[in-house]
Structure 1
Amino acid sequence: MPVKVSVVVPVYNPGVYIEDCITSLLAQSLPPDAYEVIFVDDGSTDDTPARLDAVAAAEPRVTVVHQENSGWSGRPRNVGIAAARGEYVMFVDNDDYVGDEALERMYDYGVANGADVVVGKMAGKGRGVPVELFRRNHPRATVENAPLIDSLTPHKMFRRAFLDDIGLRFPEGRRRLEDHVFVTEAYLRASNVSVLSDYVCYYHVRRDDASNAGFQRFDPGGYFKNLREALDVVERYTEPGPLRDRLFRRWLRVEMVERMRARRMLALPADYRRELFEEMHQVVVERFGPGVAAGLQPTQQVVAALIAAGRYDDVEAFAEWEAGIALTAVPEGVAWENGTLRVAFSAQYTSAAEPMTFAAGAAPAPLDGPPEDLAAAIAWVGADTAARFDRATADLLVRERASAAQYFQPVEFTRQEVPAGDDGRVRLVLRASAAVDPATLTRAGVWDALVRVRLGGWTKECRLG
């Protein structure tokens, strides 16, 4: 039988964390002769090489390539592509694992839709993964009609002929963001990208000792040099204008602004976060026009403007204020209706453990440059949040505790401005009712109900109950 899928796994000193990866790849619903697994050992110094050789000796579908350490995952993945015989190539990291039907479902979906790239739903076990991208299936997704740019890890399926036709390979050597360069070009040059969201295909796992490569502190200068290479890819395949700005916004938002917000910033050593800030400032000034930051959420716009202005102390002060903001959700009723669990709840944001209040009816002007000071920044964010309350949304997700697989539930909600005193200020409250069909939960286990609210510049989740 022709090989349908080649799974490429770059390997370096994973220890026991590779066991779930091996087990999941050997448990696939795809027939054993329809796929192959290629482990590329990048000079591991633990017991992994012998472990992989033993697996290969017992499993004809498994191949192991041993090589000297190359410094990062790019070269091992390229070696895997060269050895692959499958119609599609799937990349899996050595400390992650895949769902039992992942290869079969992703392959069938890719073939059915003529996809050069197939993005399977991800679950994060202690790691962040895209959420909005996997709200529904996207058989024909592009960077314009779906938030593909939010998913730049390599854990996807790529048609081998597509990679060869355009000569796409990972940058090699000791570096960062090689996956951003590779995946961004794939998105921009693919004839079609398909997103499979109704089955969790990939489990992105944080090791108990947090020793995943992606969690290690990086050299800011080298990191942002590599980030510029991803921006170069966008410039090469897009024209100046709204689309390019929207794509650039992803790096501004995720790699810069979000690192300088709230607890995430404050958890970093002071000297290191200042070094990061200086590198970010250089990239923003060099590469981003005003249209990039203009599409950010209000709080993100404030941080971006302060980064562009080089005002580190104000960024730090704004982070301290944001660190006190949280989402609270209160159950208001649970009942069975025709075999469906109907869950009612309310949700609002708090600051310093007290309900946030906002000045009603004060629509601010668009942010034109950085706020004068912290008080002006907070006032502008509050006014903008109240003015855009009509765009606030509430969702209920159910998440399996063991696997972190999560699913959106049907929900209806209303927005309510609740008076908060005699000074005309209000609380912004969302009241919602969700319908949970137990038959849609994919396996037995403990499931948590999570409320997700998008309001103003914040998207936050909290456990319900």
Structure 2
Amino acid sequence: MNTKSVPDVSVIVGAYEAMPYLIRCLESVEAQTLGPDRIEIVAIDDGSTDGTGEYLEAFAARTTIPTRVVRQANSGGPSGPRNVGLGMARGRYVFFLDADDYFAEESLERMVAMADRAGTDVVLGKIEGVNRGAPGSMWNRTAERVDIYTSQVIYTLSAQKLFRRELIERLGLRFDETLKTGEDALFTMEAYIRGNGVSVIADYTCYYLVGRDDGKHVTKTGSYALRFEATGALMALITALVPAGPKRDRLMVRPFTVGLIQQFGHGTLKQPERIGRHKLELAAPLMERYWTPGVAARIKVNERLRLECVALGRLDLLADMLAFIRAGTVPEVVHRGRARTPYLVFPHFGDKRSGLQDASYEVTVPDWLGKPGLRRIEAPKAVRRRKSLTRRVARRVRTQLRTLTALRSHGPAPTRLER
């Protein structure tokens, strides 16, 4: 499927002040088992002053991998260099490799093989953090095709994935250069939703996500206002692409729990009140437009309550919730109704004056009391009994149907005289 004029993968490297991390990054591309004749590198120096551009040119002159280098004035973010790289890419697939990070040796070979075998448009290779955290919930198993609405892949929306270039060009996908953070989340989410499936490689670490010692990593920069802007853009994209209903609700959990709620974490207790008020102002239109009962029901109680406090515009209630959680207090479990529905008694439970409804305290998804592993909140016993009874009735019906089928196939039962 590969010819020298059409490489399997275009590795797009956007680099800004990337030394000395860039050295290991490019060495990891040269070490790929896929082979230099099946790879091309498109590298963009985004106005570096630390020798990044010079190193890229020297690398291009000596490597056996076809490499093109663009040196441009600083664009202010990763979107510009990535878009330049996309405009130059010729491969069947593209991979966005950050100049701080590096591949494992078999990464591209495994990802290309997976995409070719499964026919999917996006392949996630397992990521491991180096001197920083990395997403982990989506690496439970290798799968040729996963459902984005039931799997955990929506919790990794970074650009470090293998994308089929035909999809990118057909959709006209590009990174939003007006966003200074979160631009890769929009690109990846649209590819998830509109592409022909997502594959996951979980049994081999493909990508090493490096935390820089100099603090220049892009995810550590930018004001909270930019993060609200990025979160709102992702919510708007999901709304535009997915009709209202359970599927949209499921995807919307991601920007609420990974984007918005992070702006109202424990650090809120230490911030000046004016910043907290400003954050509530920025959150208000997002909560009013996108926060629905369907989304709320898919979120754990302690996170849902914090978001409900934000929706009410109540920093005082939020502070009570955060203090309760920070203290490690294990909430009491209260069961109500014939179904013995469980509620977790966080602050202001049952206090009508607070504005928080009892439904906000209801366990609607699997939850834990205390740290993971201490106690899992199960479905109400009455619900489990109903499910068990349903299974027993279903088994009984199947047995009766098999008996009737057997009798019909062997003719009528013998009469007393025939016996």
TM-fit CA distance, 1:219: 4.6
Specify which of 284, 288, 296 is matched with residue 281 of structure 1: 284
For 1:57, the equivalent position in structure 2 comes to 61
Determine if contact 2:82/2:175 at 8 Å carries over to the other structure.
yes
Provide the C-alpha distance between the structure 1 equivalents of 2:113 and 2:305, rounded to a whole number of angstroms. 45
Q: Which sections of structure 1, spanning at least 5 residues, go unmatched?
A: 326-350, 394-427, 431-450, 458-465
Q: Distance in 1 between matches of 2:343 and 2:31?
A: 57
Superposed counterparts of 1:34-183, under 5 Å: 34-61=38-65, 62-173=67-178, 175-183=180-188
1:71·1:173 contact (CA, 8 Å) conserved in 2?
A: no
In the aligned structure 1, how far is the partner of 2:193 from the partner of 2:204? Answer: 25
What amino acid sits opposite 1:69 in the alignment?
A: N
SS of the equivalent of 2:173 reads coil
Matching of residues 22-421 of structure 1 within 5 Å:
22-61=26-65, 62-173=67-178, 175-220=180-225, 222-262=226-266, 265-266=268-269, 271-325=274-328, 351=329, 356=330, 358=332, 363-364=341-342, 371=349, 391=366
Distance 1:429 1:236, change over 3 A: closer
Measure how far apart 1:141 and its partner are: 1.6
Residue 99 of structure 1, CA deviation: 1.1
Output the CA distance in 2 between the equivalents of 1:314 and 1:113: 49
The Cα of 1:154 is off from its aligned counterpart by: 0.5
- Indicate if the aligned counterparts of 1:15 and 1:47 stay in contact, CA closer than 8 A: yes
The structural deviation recorded for 1:269 is: 6.4
Asked if structure 2 preserves the Cα contact closer than 8 Å seen for 1:142 and 1:193, the reply is yes
Using the TM superposition, give the Cα deviation of residue 258 of structure 1 relative to its aligned residue in structure 2, in angstroms: 3.4
The Cα of 1:364 is off from its aligned counterpart by 4.4
Q: In 2, are the aligned partners of 1:302 and 1:370 still within 8 Å (CA)?
A: no
| Residue 361 of structure 1, CA deviation | 5.8
Q: Aligned partners of 1:111, 1:156: CA distance in 2, in Å? A: 15
2:414 is matched with which residue? Answer: none
Instruction: Report the alpha carbon displacement of residue 323 of structure 1 after superposing the two structures with TM.
Output: 2.2
Contact 2:276 2:315 (C-alpha < 8 Å) held by counterparts: no
In the other structure, the counterpart of 2:17 is 13
Q: CA–CA distance in 1 between the matches of 2:149 and 2:375? A: 21
| Alpha carbons of structure 1 residues 203 and 266: separation in structure 2 relative to 1, 3 Å | farther
SS at match of 1:259: helix
Give the residue type in structure 2 aligned to 1:298: V
Residues of 1 paired with 2:375 and 2:166: CA distance?
Answer: 41
SS in structure 1 at match of 2:158: coil
Residues in 2 aligned to 1:104 and 1:281: alpha-carbon distance in whole angstroms: 46
- Across the aligned residues of Structure 1 and Structure 2, the Cα RMSD in angstroms comes to 3.3
Residue deviations 1:364-399, cap 9 Å, x none?
4599x98577xx999x89x867x98xx568xxxxxx
- Alignment length (residue pairs): 367
Cα distance in 2 between the residues matched to 1:357 and 1:71 = 46
Label 1:282 to 1:52 Cα distance change in 2 as closer, same or farther (>3 A): same
Instruction: Give the C-alpha shift of residue 223 in structure 1.
Output: 3.3
Distance of aligned partners of 1:211 and 1:87 in 2 relative to their CA distance in 1, 3 Å threshold: same
Contact 2:143-2:200 at 8 Å conserved across structures: yes
What's 1:420 paired with? none
Opposite residue 278 of structure 1, the aligned amino acid is: E
Q: Is the 8 A contact 1:142 1:187 kept in 2?
A: no
Residues 13, 309 of structure 1: CA spacing in aligned structure 2 closer, same or farther, 3 A cutoff?
A: same
1:319/1:47 CA distance change after superposition, 3 Å: same
Contact 1:75 1:173 (8 Å CA) reproduced: no
1:75 partner amino acid = G
| Equivalent pair of 1:384/1:456 in contact (CA under 8 Å) | no
Distance 1:57 1:206 in 2: 29
- Separation in 2 of the partners of 1:178 and 1:11? 16
Whether the 8 Å contact between 2:135 and 2:156 is mirrored in structure 1 is yes
Equivalent position amino acid for 1:210 in 2:
G
Alpha-carbon spacing, 1:271–1:103, altered in 2? closer, same or farther (3 Å): farther
User: In 2, Cα distance between the equivalents of 1:183 and 1:313?
Assistant: 37
Which structure has the highest strand share of the two? 1
Per the normalisation by structure 2, the TM-score is 0.78
Unaligned runs of 5+ residues in structure 2 are 379-419
Q: Is the contact made by 1:10 and 1:41 (CA closer than 8 Å) also made in structure 2?
A: yes
> Does the 8 Å contact 1:246/1:292 carry over to 2?
yes
Counterpart residue identity of residue 303, structure 2 = Q
